[in-house]
A and B are shown apart, each in its own frame.
Chain A
Amino acid sequence: MKETIDRLRSEGSERIKAAGSESEVEAVRVALLGRKGEITSLLRGLKDVDPAERPAMGAELNRLKLDLGELLDSRQAEIGGTGGSSANLVGDLTLPGVPPAAAGTNHPLLTVLESICDIFYGMGFSRDDGPEVELDYYNFTALNFPDDHPARDIQDTFYIDPKVCLRTQTSPVQVRTMERNEPPLASIFPGRVYRNENADASHSSEFFQIEGLVVDKSISMADLKDTVDTFVRNFFGADEPTRFRPHFFPFTEPSVEVDMQCVVCRGSGCGVCGQTGWLEIMGAGMVHPNVFKAVGYPEDVYTGFAFGMGIDRIAMLKYGVGDIRLLYENDLRFLTQFRGVF
């Protein structure tokens, strides 16, 4: 039997090498390993072998069977078969797949909002919400907007009655949060805000903002700068230069606006950035002592910073959307483009 095994090993490998097509390889496979193949019949004949030799022979035969099987597979792969046995083919594997469900979308505004929140959650911020129909007191007075001061002109406000308005900014949530909590505080306040103005390509009477607030015993402007830089690095990428410009907001002082190098022209000036090379992305500053006073914090104990940004503008920049109204039409030809965006 030993000789037969040796002969089959050499002959078999020769025949496999000689096979020139998938069907020839298959024919050799049948002749050697098939139900009536030579190796199969040898295996059947094992029972007639001397019991002392039987285990060795059995092992030898099995090894031969495996080796030839491997040779057959690799020869088949060489010729260009599918790798599997053609007997297992079910049909046209290029037919369209069947998804478990149709692909929906999340709204790009909320996707952007969510990813911004995640960055701040990672930095240890909590989250608070406040009413959209807000007291004039929280929207303006407690935020150090003097009554009847031009600073109020910046924001055209929808009023429900003289004491109640639709919030023009997420900043009133700062005040509500401070009123209810003692520092240390680090929180973000995302949400919808309203401005009493006519809609055009860059203005909407409703839009989204996110506000952030940090208060503790020695929070400095340098901390604000670090926080903003960390955010920009995470959200826009590692290499985006930022600059701080002094600005004015009644509820922070010193106040700044933060610009990022224009993502379109990389600083050389283009239509998107009004030729300045910079894009304004947020307003920020150190919480004004008058705001601390309004929430009842003792004088000189705490310092803190606050920042706020418009989500719509950032989404438009990020995805190249030129008209803010597209964000509120909910047209599927718009929304479906955001499939898979997170």
Chain B
Amino acid sequence: MKISLDWLAEYVSWDDTPGELAAKLTSVGLNVEGLEEYRQTFPEVVIAHVVEREQHPDADRLSLCSVDDGTGEPVQVVCGAPNVREGLTVLFARVGAVLPGNFKIKKSKIRGVESFGMICSANELGLSSEAAGIMELATELAPGTPADELYGFSDTVLDIEVTPNRPDWLSHIGVAREVAAIYGTMVSMPPVWSFQPSSENLGFQIKIEDPDDCHRYGAFGASGVQIGPSPDWMQNRLRAIGSRPINNLVDITNYVMFELGQPMHAFDRAKLTGDTITIRAAEPGTLVTTLDEQERKLGKGTLLVCDGDGPIALAGVMGLANTEVTDSTTELILESAFFNPKLVRTASRGLGLVSESSYRFERGSDWDMVEKAALRALQLYHDLAGANILPAWADRQDPDRKAVQSIPLRLWQVNRVLGTSLTTDQVAQHLQSLGLKVQPMGNSGKGSRNAVDMMVRIPSFRRDLFQEIDLIEEIARSYGLDNLSGGSGFCGAGGGVRDQDDLMQRRMRHWFSDCGYHEMVTSSFLGSGDNERLGMSEEDPRSQTLAVINPHHGGDTQLRTTLLPSLMDVVRRNLNAGASTPVRLFQINRTFWPAGAKRTDYLQKDDLLLPEEPVFLQFAVAGWRRSGLDGIPSDLLEIKGSLESLGTHLRLSLELEAADSEIWLQAGSQWLIKDRNGKVVGSAGRVDPGVLDRFDIELPVAVAEINLSAADLTPEPMKFQPFTRFPAVRRDLSLLVPAETNWSSIRETVINSAGPLLEQVELFDIYRGKGVSEGKGAFGIRLKFRSQKGNLKGKTVDKAIVKILEGLSGRLNIEPRSQD
């Protein structure tokens, strides 16, 4: 809401700079988001007389004028306006003037004749949209007098953020009430029309079909209105707050709306039929044309104002074109009403039509203002449009809905909620400063829990106050939030309990970043076609996604069931941007599985409608073509190594088992991931080349995904084990291993054959090629033996080695490589 200080000063006084006023308003809840100097000024534009006017020698439609601009020297100027003539008093822009739209006035030559300035139209000065000709002034001011003396205006405009609970602040008078409360001054209301008693009849009666739809409707009449521009002061104020002046009749209803907060609507009486104005709900599908010349189809529940023939206004939203006030209008019917806020909101939303009027009505208007604002508008019709106000008016109201009530207030609760020790008198003063009426109940003032200490009467403009806590908020605003202090500290909460899942995720995040992985935060939405790119079949439960039904324009709608597409997107982006490889990335994020709603802990039965939201850990090594040990791609080895190392660091058991199970991973290059209970909780491997291709990625990507919500993430408990101080004995073996034999079986055989002294077995090399028979590999392994009972003897170790070699030979056909 824009508030003009020039305008505000008409109702209230304050002794402060605009900046200080803004700061004080902000501190009571009218958040001033902007403070703008508004200036309407016309430098180098002056009053002038047209001394001579001749035809331009070379152009029929142009005049050549000599102008007295107060400098003493006549100025020659070419003018194109049809109404320019000798003896006129005009506004003259000298060379050097800059008119609205950054239009610079320069010395120029027009059809061969020099011109030193410009005689201005109201349109050129931004004073009106009228472009018919130059302005003809009727002023006694001497030539050379700055135009600012007549048309200059400067103002300070506050841009105030108004929260939806305070529709009363959508007006200058509402803001004036707060200013008065802050500075201890009074609000003075603007002059309003006062009716003389009369037995005349307006000619219309009001019919409200459902009093729930429209709590009050008033109709007022004016005749003999003269349409024309509104006075400068009104135009200036409207312009200052960003509202375009149109003509006096339109401007008056707008002005009163910004002044008092009550939207009103004027009909051309000559266009109304019948003798009844009816307020009723629309038949769905009704077609109407609104004032903005849009044809609109009405939905169910749209509230209408109708005359004898049918709709004349969308109640509270906008008038219809059929009864619009035009230049030929001489008689008006002015509507001022209180419409059901919910209906106005429904209509406005349904039509996608938010007007200044609907914005106020849907927030709730002021019952008393229905009458006061109309009288104010009538006064202005009389003063500014020469109107003759009809002495009769119609007012249909349901007094039970008048929003005046009293709310009981307990001092005990005030001080408990605010942490203050206010007295009854102090509380009463704070409330009274805001225009609330307080009736003390004569209690001791000690503030006991069950004692109502005062009844507070709520004025009609405060429809947001319903219950005790609303009053406590008012007291807090008046007391000053910055004056609150000395909290006890919230004792008794028992201290925080750290969530174990959260701690585990935190350790993972730090472990991955310490190991060179970069953390991603990616969208919960799938891009369109993502699941198809993954090659997901319709039978795959993850192809069942949740979708939003009202996405913003062009937005994605499906919630993801896997993190992979988001990774593909980030990888492609970074590779395209020339990131150096390998790119290591990870994320911990939620997925959304609609089929999985098997909750048992719900309190609301509708919780069953909600999806499961499993949290996944995903990490990936992208863009690496290198081969590692025995020709296995390095990215695969790194994914595996990372997973094993993660398990070690977090005391988790994460087992990998080679198996082709994941559709988007390459066959023969993937594992299942199992937790310590043997439950499958994820997969790892190289992304299938077809999938990479569909995501436009040309380099390999290895990835692992673990469902953290499904996995047992309890760390292995730590219990100290006594260790032996006897030295270990190391032995290296070189083995000739047949092609089909994998390391895991070798390791297992070594451990099973060695007996209890073997402490550790490590693979340190694989060699194939020259010196090793075709189809075999030379595996270098390192064994570590230790006894718990004493120093190991060489012979004892030798015996264990013999057992190991026997085992390898017998079970796996592996022989030691001869040392030749």
Residues of A within 8 A of B (CB): 101-107, 109-110, 114, 120-121, 123-129, 131-135, 137-138, 148-151, 153-154, 156, 158-161, 163-164, 166, 176, 179-180, 184-186, 192, 194, 196-198, 205-206, 214, 216-227, 243-248, 253-257, 274-276, 286, 288-289, 300, 303, 327-333, 335-336
CB nearest neighbor in B for A102:
B516
Describe B's contact surface by its main secondary structure.
loop
B223 sits at the interface (CB 8 A): no
Contact, CB under 8 Å: A101 / B514 = yes
B345 at the interface (CB under 8 A from A): yes
Closest Cβ of chain B to A13, distance in Å, is 47
A-B contact list, 24 entries, CB within 8 Å? A123-B496, A126-B496, A126-B498, A131-B610, A135-B610, A148-B346, A149-B164, A150-B362, A151-B165, A159-B549, A216-B491, A220-B418, A222-B418, A222-B487, A244-B482, A245-B26, A246-B476, A254-B418, A254-B469, A288-B469, A328-B522, A329-B573, A330-B574, A335-B518
Q: Give the residue of B342, B477, B547, B577 whose beta carbon is less than 8 angstroms from that of A148.
A: B342
Chain A minimum-CB-distance residue to B31: A245
Indicate whether A124 sits within 8 Å of B495 (C-beta atoms), given known contacts A101-B515, A180-B603.
yes
A221:B418 contact, CB within 8 angstroms: yes
Verify if B609 is at the interface (C-beta below 8 Å from A): yes
Tell me the bound Cα distance from A225 to B476 in angstroms: 13
Name the CB-closest residue of B to A151: B164
Q: How would residues 378 to 420 of chain B score, 1 for a CB under 8 Å from any chain A CB and 0 otherwise? A: 0000000000000000000000000000000000010011111
Query: Given A104-B513, A127-B498, A150-B345 in contact, is the A276-B33 Cβ separation under 8 Å?
Result: yes
Nearest first, the 4 A-B pairs at minimum CB distance are A220-B419, A222-B419, A246-B29, A102-B516
Instruction: Report B464-497 CB contacts with A as 1/0, cut-off 8 Å.
Output: 0001111011001100011011111111111111
Q: Is B449 an interface residue (CB 8 A)?
A: yes
> Given A133-B546, A159-B549, do A106 and B510 touch, yes or no (CB 8 Å)?
yes
Contact with A along B122-147 (1 / 0, CB 8 A): 00000000000000000000000000
CB-defined contacts of A164 to chain B, threshold 8 Å: 606, 609-610
Are A333 and B417 touching (Cβ within 8 A)?
A: no
Question: Cβ of A103: which chain B residues have Cβ within 8 Å of it?
Answer: 516
Q: How far is the CA of A206 from the CA of B585 in the complex (A)?
A: 21
Is B442 among interface residues, defined by CB-CB distance under 8 A?
Answer: no
Tell me the bound Cα distance from A248 to B546 in angstroms: 33
Residues from chain A with a CB closer than 8 A to the CB of B164 are: 149-151, 153-154, 248
Q: How far is the CB of A23 from chain B (nearest CB, A)?
A: 43
Q: Which of A192, A218, A254, A289 has the most CB of B within 10 A?
A: A254
Q: Is the CB of A198 within 8 A of B552?
A: yes
Chain A contacts of B469 at CB under 8 A?
253-254, 286, 288-289
Contact A216/B493 with A148-B346, A158-B550, A274-B33 known, Cβ cut-off 8 Å? yes
User: Complex formed: what's the CA distance from A327 to B522 in Å?
Assistant: 9
Residues of A within 8 A of B609 (CB): 135, 161, 163-164
**Are B345's CB and A186's CB within 8 A?**
no
Q: Does B523 contact A (CB under 8 A)?
A: yes
Indicate which residue in A121, A225, A286 contacts B496 across the interface (CB closer than 8 Å). Answer: A121
Chain A residue nearest to B510 (CB atoms) is: A106
Taking a contact as CB atoms under 8 Å apart, the answer to whether B28 and A246 are in contact is: yes
- B428 within 8 Å of A by Cβ? no
Chain B contacts for A129, CB-based, 8 A: 499, 502
- In the complex, besides A121-B496, A124-B493, A243-B481, 4 extra interface pairs with C-beta distance below 8 angstroms are A110-B509, A125-B493, A131-B611, A216-B492
Task: Give every chain B residue within 8 A of A222 (Cβ-Cβ).
Answer: 418-420, 484-488
Say yes or no: B419 contacts A221, CB within 8 Å: yes
User: How many B residues touch the partner, as a band?
Assistant: 35 or more
- Known contacts A150-B345, A196-B551, A227 near B487 by CB under 8 Å: yes
CA distance in complex: A62, B807 (Å): 60
Q: Shortest distance in angstroms between B366's beta carbon and chain A's nearest beta carbon?
A: 16
Q: Is the CB of B496 within 8 A of A125?
A: yes
Residue of B nearest to A336 (CB): B518
Knowing A254-B473, A288-B469, the reply to whether A219 touches B29 (Cβ < 8 A) is no
Whole-angstrom distance between the Cβ of A157 and the nearest chain B Cβ: 8
Q: Which residues of B contact A329 (CB under 8 A)?
A: 573
Contacts of B449 in A (CB 8 A): 300
Cβ-defined contact, B570 with A196, below 8 A = no
The verdict on B555 contacting chain A, using a C-beta distance below 8 Å, is yes
Residues of A within 8 A of B494 (CB): 124, 184
The docked-state distance in angstroms from the alpha carbon of A342 to that of B317 is: 53
The interface centre, meaning the residue of B164, B509, B513 with most chain A CB atoms within 10 A of its CB, is: B513
The reply to whether the CB of B2 lies closer than 8 angstroms to some CB of chain A is no
B515-537 vs A, CB cutoff 8 Å, 1 = contact: the mask equals 11111111111000000000000
CB distance from B420 to the nearest CB of A (A): 8
Q: What is the chain A residue whose CB lies nearest that of B513?
A: A104
Q: Does B504 touch A at the CB level, under 8 Å?
A: no
Query: Which single residue of chain A is at the shortest CB-CB distance from B553?
Result: A198
Q: Which of B157-188 contact A (CB under 8 A)?
A: 163-166
B579 within 8 A of A: yes
From A125, A137, A154, A205, B606 is in contact (CB under 8 Å) with A137
Beta-carbon contact of B574 and A105 below 8 Å: no
Q: When the two chains form the complex, which single residue of B31, B514, B577, B603 contacts A331, counting CB atoms closer than 8 Å?
A: B577
Least Cβ–Cβ distance between A114 and chain B, in angstroms: 7
| Separation of A46 and B782 alpha carbons in the complex (Å) | 50
B363 within 8 A of A: yes
Is the CB–CB distance between B521 and A330 below 8 Å? yes
| B328-345 contact mask (Cβ, 8 Å, vs A): 1 or 0 | 000000000000001001
A275 to B19: give the CA distance in the assembly, Å. 11
Question: Across the two chains, which residue of chain B brings its CB closest to A243?
Answer: B482
